[in-house]
Homo-oligomer: A and B are copies of this chain.
Amino acid sequence: MNGEVIAVDWGTTNRRAYRLAADGGVLATVCDDRGILSLAPADYPAAVAALRARLGEAPLLIAGMAGSTRGWREIPYVDAPADLAALAGGVIHVARDVAIVPGVALRGSRHDVMRGEEVQALGAITAGLAPRDALFCQPGTHDKWITVADARIHRFATAMTGELFALLRTHGILSGMLDAPVVDGAAFRDGVARGAGATDLLDAMFEVRARVLLGTLAPGDAASFASGVLIGADVGARGDLAGGTVHLLATGALAALYTAAIALRGGRVVAIDSAAAFTAGIHALHALLPGETA
């Protein structure tokens, strides 16, 4: 059905909620840190009521980690390949006028899961921000690469890039060496070249320390080099990007670093506004649902 809806991207640490008009336009937004880690399952009805108090009465359609084992209620994944209709078919009502979008599972020679990114990728296509055949990248703690063909998610991969950098920076032998800001410069690009396609990534990590000890890497450049190694390995794992386009669901410093690394691998980046992609995806899903709730 059509009509207004509150679109909620309910993540692990953050939450973004948008009141959408019947035409999909954003009427109001709430962004806060009430991610699933801050909530027990019993807390969600009150959290929803509080959202409605701020955004108005409307059905809620939620995507993201709220549908995970650690969220409000586990919503079974739909299997790839999956388009918007498949996602709509897996939506489950968890309360009156509140429903949760399923994540997508990849089963076969590789196994992977996602919750939330699927709405952004397919929403970007719906909104005309990306073609129906596209490669998406959403960098972050767990970087997602999503291959879409004819507006259907065919396969995807999750890389532990951001988490690993954070672990190395905070714990272990490289801690204290990686505190400088990561910037796109010679050290970052050297790191990308070292990490891309490497079959010895475990060696490359230790080399950060060895290079500093031997004076071939300035201490202030160690963080940029180490980040380059990991982002280079991440981007390099996508195979030959030469001449290809990556649709990047990111902004800010991380977007700049991935844009540089992708360019070094011969690819081209189209930046996509994550919020526009997400709200377009929820608006399209909402239109595909039967009338009762969402």
Contact = CB atoms under 8 A, between A and B. Distances in A.
Interface string A201-241: 11101110111011010000000000000100110110000
A112 to B, nearest CB: 5
B110 A214 contact: no
Interface residues of A, number: 46
B167 A206 contact: no
Contacts of A157: 200, 203
B112 A206 contact: yes
Given A112-B210, A167-B172, A210-B158, A201 B201 contact: yes
Copies in the complex: 2
Considering residues A164, A203, A236, which has the most beta carbons from chain B within 10 angstroms of its beta carbon? A203
B160 A214 contact: no
Contacts of A160: 172-173, 202-203, 205-206
A160 B198 CA distance: 14
Nearest to A168: B167
A132 interface: no
Interface string A229-270: 010011011000000000000000000000000000000000
6 contacts: A77-B214, A111-B207, A113-B209, A143-B202, A163-B172, A164-B205
Interface of A: 69, 77, 105-107, 110-113, 142-143, 157-161, 163-164, 166-168, 170-173, 197-203, 205-207, 209-211, 213-214, 216, 230, 233-234, 236-237
